[in-house]
């Protein structure tokens, strides 16, 4: 049994714990600014390419729905929540 294999066996559970933590945190609901309940659920994730200063850059944003009060929000990665227009919501979130 090599040292590298033993190292992998020791690190395996740590990696699993990190993966579980990331999945848990990403699925945890956010607090709704409208009703203050932890009920904001991501209903749609959009990945797109946008043009900034003539250069194409990747962009992504989410649409969130409050399961408590029904408020709708849009959030760019790392940015504040904004309220999407009715047309925008229907375009991305209606199945």
What does the binding site for Zn ion look like in residue numbers (CB under 5 A)? Answer: 32, 34-35, 66, 68-69, 71
Residue 46 CB contacts under 8 Å (≥ 6 apart), including other chains: 60, 61, 62, 63, 92
Smallest separation (angstroms) from Zn ion to the CB of 44:
17
Smallest separation (angstroms) from Zn ion to the CB of 39:
6
Distance CA 94, CA 42 (A): 14
Closest alpha carbon to 30 in 4, 64, 70: 64
Which C-beta is closer to Zn ion: that of 11 or that of 35? 35
Which C-beta is closer to Zn ion: that of 59 or that of 67? 67
Smallest separation (angstroms) from Zn ion to the CB of 73:
9
């Amino acid at each position: 049994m090599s040292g590298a294999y033993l190292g992998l066996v020791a690190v395996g559970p740590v990696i699993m714990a990190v993966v579980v933590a990331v999945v848990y945190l990403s699925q945890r609901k956010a607090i709704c600014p409208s009703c203050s309940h932890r009920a904001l659920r991501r209903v749609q994730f959009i990945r797109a390419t946008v043009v900034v200063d003539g250069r194409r850059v990747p962009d992504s944003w989410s649409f969130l729905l409050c399961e408590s009060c029904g408020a709708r929000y849009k959030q760019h990665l790392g940015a504040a929540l904004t309220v999407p227009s009715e047309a925008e919501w229907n375009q991305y979130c209606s199945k």
